[in-house]
Amino acid sequence: MSASNIQSRESTAQKASNSTSWKIKLLYDGECPLCVREVNFLRKRDAGRGLVAFVDIADEDYNPEAHGGVDFETAMGRIHAVLPDGTVIKNVEVFRRVYETLGMGWVYAITKLPVIGAIADMLYGIWADWRLRLTGRPDLAAIIADRQKQLECKTQGRCQM
């Protein structure tokens, strides 16, 4: 392979990575009414700019490999986001980064302080543990079992309900 071909491929790869318009990819549970409400608010703030890529982990076509390797069960346990360089972040840092990206960083700015950040993560963990119950949904084990049945049904082309 010639030096010009290598440079051309590197240039193409660099353009592809630079062409990513989103600054953060937010993984959210599209079956959670409170999560959807927050996502709708954030979409309005994004105003079609594409700064935040919204990825519904509840979608049957959700592909962990395309989203930082965060599998469905992990994503259901705590909020996650993926940065353009592939870095996966979770918990309150996700909210802080999304809000910063949308020009509302002041909302979560105080969580940058180590003690406040630790308390915020702890409180978020409690919320995340109770989220399904508070929104009237089955527990995580039941949701995962149901999802597995749906995926098997889809791949095998036959279902038993």
Tell me the β-bridge partners of 89: 81
Higher pLDDT, 4 or 34: 34
Residues 65-98 have pLDDT tens digits of: 999 999 999 999 999 999 999 999 999 999 999 9
Binned at pLDDT 50, 70 and 90, residue 152 comes out as confident
Mean pLDDT over the full length of the chain? 88
**10 Å Cβ neighbour count for 23?**
17
Q: Which residues contact 51 (CB under 8 A, 6 or more apart)?
A: 21, 22, 23, 24, 101, 102
Structure tokens, 74: 């992990």
Mean pLDDT of 132-161: 86
Residue 114 has pLDDT above 70, yes or no: yes
Instruction: Give the SS3 label for residue 26.
Output: strand
Q: Are 29 and 35 in contact (CB under 8 A)?
A: yes
Residue 7 has pLDDT above 80, yes or no: no
Mean pLDDT of 15-33: 81
Residue 14 has pLDDT above 80, yes or no: no
Q: Give pLDDT, residue 161.
A: 53
